[in-house]
A and B are shown apart, each in its own frame.
Chain A
Amino acid sequence: MIEMTRFILDGFFYASILFLISSGLTLIFSVAGIINLAHGALYMLGAYIAAVLIKSLINTPYAILAFPIAALIIGLIGIIIERGFIKWIYEREFVYQLLLTFGLALVLSDITRITFGTEPIYVTKLYIHAGIIDILGSPYPVYNFIVMAVTFLIGGLMWFIMYKTRAGKIIRACALDREMSEAIGINTSRVFTLTFFMGSALAGISGALVVPQSAAMLGIDADALIESFIVIVIGGVGSIKGAFIGSLLIGLIRAFGIALFPEIELAIVYLVMAAVLLIRPRGLFGKEYRVA
């Protein structure tokens, strides 16, 4: 029973991180129609930036600022990517859109390697500093709870922005029909830029939040990208609700898989994805998509 609680809590922790990454990816897709393959690289870059910042501020209370700063920097990089590159190819065949973001992913991850080196950066001090709490008789790190709480806050904020503000209404209108929104006087290109900022900042914050618990290292870009793909394929591409349910599902499967069958944990995740694809090709909450 005690172990069970631990697995479930671990599952929620994985799910929190997954939700932050995949909601950014799915947000950009639903509004701009672009699958940003550089999303994982942005996540990794966010992790590195946060790691370096935390390391230099570790003995001051300002260390906590590393998280919003990393998110902000990655968000700005998202704007640069959108304004500098993606802007030119919205109307082009999807092959070129994917090709472009794929190229950007390679460039960004190599720049990360060149800038920060190949050695992982550990900042576990913050993780240890947060302490341990007793949950039903078993100790559990407080940091994981903080991450879950932050995720809930961010998720709530996203819901508020999307459904309770004028900006959110405009974003949703653009996602629904770009031409029509333009016709009624919405500056859609600015909306797209804003969306890239938000989506990239989500990648940045999730990378930053992972750092104290594990490390900033090379290769986490591909893992993050693939896992968030799996999440949004299960949940339905373009659906934030789907990203939420998908993250919970994959997070829990991973937590139990790692603990009980570490060898085939990954295979289980893929099997679940394959099963969802066979039974419901558009994902649990995906809209019916058009051919081609």
Chain B
Amino acid sequence: MWLRGNMLSYKTLLIIGLLILFAIPLLGSSYLDFLFSMALIYSIWALGYNFLLGYTGLLSFGHGAYFGLGAYTVAMLVTKYSFRPFLPVLGIAVLVATFFGAIIGFLCARHVAKYFALLTLAFSQLFYALTFKLYHWTGGSDGIVVKSLDFFGVEVSAIKNPIGYYYLTLIFFLVSVCSGWRIVNSPFGKALQAIRDNPLKAEAIGIPVKRYKWYAFIISAAYSGLAGALFAPLLGYAYPDLFHFSFSGEVLFATLLGGHRVFFGPVIGAIIFTIAKSYIIATVKYWPLVLGSMLVITALFFPHGIIGTIYVVLKRRGSKTP
């Protein structure tokens, strides 16, 4: 029932969720700290991704590119150029991802639906290929190890201080959620939804469709870059597979798992996805096979995602009993 607009219980759920997120380090398991840091990073990524998929109706297969750009920028700055202050490094990484997002988005946003998906996929594979071609700079298939960063004199290391890194991620996650909420509910966000629902009508009422699609692309690239920038120090490693299109598939699946028509859908999807992935990888070797099968099953049977399906079921039940 809480999904049907009862604001009080909606808020209660939010507060419970927030308390759980704050309480996770109290469990005292550094593996859980790591896992949930990862889950929050995926959530930031999925939130950004959903600006395009859920709110503008554009399907991208290339958001691994901006995630990877964020991660690689951090890795290069820290390890190759020994530039270690945390916030500036993060800022530069987001800027780099945003910059490339702006260029590629400019080319892609002129296209609709399937063509858009193709182009995003092609451009992300360009980065994938470049990491191998420019191996003396990017480390090729070895990737780059990320050394520890420096946060106002305190060493930032996910291995030495997992709780600290978890809370750092949590802060960025909360900032992303709040800013994302603001964007989605701003006039600009509503315009994006109008474009999603009917691009022709949106154009007719004076919304600059192409330009707004481009802006949405840039915003989502920035979020992806932030997620990637937080990811590199957590794993201590940036590797070319981040640019591969099967990695972009992960954010797509996480978003659809939670439901792309609900604001918190991608967040919940990403958390479930991360936990499920870590258990599946621990038990079977065939991760792409499992991911692929899950995508097929979602496409065929759960078009609304987890939250979306619950919502649809509740709605149906609600309409039956007046």
For the complex formed, measure the closest distance between the CB of A240 and the CB atoms of chain B, giving whole angstroms: 18
CA distance A230 to B306 in the complex (A): 35
Instruction: From known contacts A233-B118, A292-B113, infer whether A110 and B123 are also in contact, taking CB-CB under 8 Å.
Output: no
CA distance A51 to B285 in the complex (A): 25
Q: Tell me if A266 and B129 are in contact (CB < 8 A).
A: yes
B295 CB within 8 Å of chain A: yes
Minimum CB distance partner of B285 in chain A: A114
For the complex formed, measure the closest distance between the CB of A176 and the CB atoms of chain B, giving whole angstroms: 18
Q: Tell me if A291 and B59 are in contact (CB < 8 A).
A: no
Residues of A within 8 A of B130 (CB): 266-267
Pick from A94, A98, A99, A291: contact of B200, CB below 8 A: A291
Interface residues of B in 89-146 (CB under 8 A from A): 107, 110-115, 117-119, 121-123, 125-126, 128-130, 133-134
Q: Tell me if A233 and B119 are in contact (CB < 8 A).
A: yes
Instruction: From known contacts A35-B117, A103-B296, A222-B244, infer whether A114 and B289 are also in contact, taking CB-CB under 8 Å.
Output: yes
For the complex formed, measure the closest distance between the CB of B45 and the CB atoms of chain A, giving whole angstroms: 17
Residues of A within 8 A of B113 (CB): 94, 292
CA distance A274 to B126 in the complex (A): 12
Instruction: From known contacts A94-B113, A266-B133, infer whether A99 and B119 are also in contact, taking CB-CB under 8 Å.
Output: no
Q: Tell me if B245 and A100 are in contact (CB < 8 A).
A: no
A278 CB within 8 Å of chain B: yes
Please report whether the interface of chain A is mostly helix, strand, loop or mixed according to DSSP.
Answer: helix
Instruction: From known contacts A94-B113, A222-B125, A226-B122, infer whether A106 and B303 are also in contact, taking CB-CB under 8 Å.
Output: no
Interface size of B as a range: 35 or more
CA distance A109 to B246 in the complex (A): 11
For the complex formed, measure the closest distance between the CB of B56 and the CB atoms of chain A, giving whole angstroms: 12
Q: Tell me if A226 and B112 are in contact (CB < 8 A).
A: no
Number of residues of chain A lying within 8 A (CB) of chain B: 46
Residues of A within 8 A of B295 (CB): 99-100, 102-103, 106
Q: Tell me if B118 and A105 are in contact (CB < 8 A).
A: no
Interface residues of A in 88-123 (CB under 8 A from B): 88-89, 92-100, 102-111, 113-114
Q: Tell me if B249 and A106 are in contact (CB < 8 A).
A: yes
Minimum CB distance partner of A100 in chain B: B299
Q: Tell me if A100 and B300 are in contact (CB < 8 A).
A: yes
Q: Tell me if B115 and A233 are in contact (CB < 8 A).
A: yes
Minimum CB distance partner of B196 in chain A: A292
B313 CB within 8 Å of chain A: no
Minimum CB distance partner of B294 in chain A: A103
Pick from A89, A114, A274: contact of B286, CB below 8 A: A114
Q: Tell me if B118 and A229 are in contact (CB < 8 A).
A: yes
Residues of A within 8 A of B121 (CB): 37, 225-226, 229
Instruction: From known contacts A110-B292, A222-B245, infer whether A230 and B122 are also in contact, taking CB-CB under 8 Å.
Output: yes
Pick from A99, A105, A107: contact of B256, CB below 8 A: A99
Interface residues of A in 50-103 (CB under 8 A from B): 85, 88-89, 92-100, 102-103
Minimum CB distance partner of B260 in chain A: A95
For the complex formed, measure the closest distance between the CB of B322 and the CB atoms of chain A, giving whole angstroms: 31
Interface residues of A in 17-53 (CB under 8 A from B): 35, 37
Q: B242-254, CB under 8 A of A: which get 1 and which 0? A: 0011100100100
Residues of B within 8 A of A222 (CB): 125, 128, 244-245
For the complex formed, measure the closest distance between the CB of B140 and the CB atoms of chain A, giving whole angstroms: 13
Residues of B within 8 A of A99 (CB): 252, 256, 295, 298-299
Instruction: From known contacts A106-B246, A107-B292, A222-B245, infer whether A94 and B114 are also in contact, taking CB-CB under 8 Å.
Output: yes
Interface residues of B in 263-303 (CB under 8 A from A): 286, 288-289, 291-296, 298-300, 303
Pick from A96, A223, A274: contact of B303, CB below 8 A: A96
Q: Tell me if B107 and A278 are in contact (CB < 8 A).
A: yes
CA distance A263 to B53 in the complex (A): 35
**Which residue of A88, A105, A107, A229 has the most chain B CB atoms within 10 A of its CB atom?**
A107
For the complex formed, measure the closest distance between the CB of A44 and the CB atoms of chain B, giving whole angstroms: 13
Q: Tell me if B59 and A94 are in contact (CB < 8 A).
A: yes
CA distance A72 to B114 in the complex (A): 28
Q: List 6 A-B contacts (CB under 8 A).
A: A35-B118, A104-B296, A110-B286, A223-B125, A233-B118, A237-B118
Interface residues of A (CB under 8 A from B): 35, 37, 85, 88-89, 92-100, 102-111, 113-114, 222-223, 225-226, 229-230, 233, 237, 263, 266-267, 270, 273-274, 277-278, 281, 289, 291-292
Instruction: Please give me the 8 A-B residue pairs with the lowest Cβ-Cβ distance, nearest first.
Output: A103-B295, A106-B292, A107-B292, A103-B296, A100-B299, A110-B289, A110-B288, A99-B299
Besides A108-B292, A222-B245, A230-B122, 17 more A-B contacts (Cβ < 8 Å) are: A89-B299, A89-B300, A95-B59, A96-B299, A99-B256, A99-B295, A102-B61, A103-B298, A106-B288, A106-B292, A106-B295, A109-B288, A113-B288, A237-B118, A266-B129, A277-B111, A277-B119
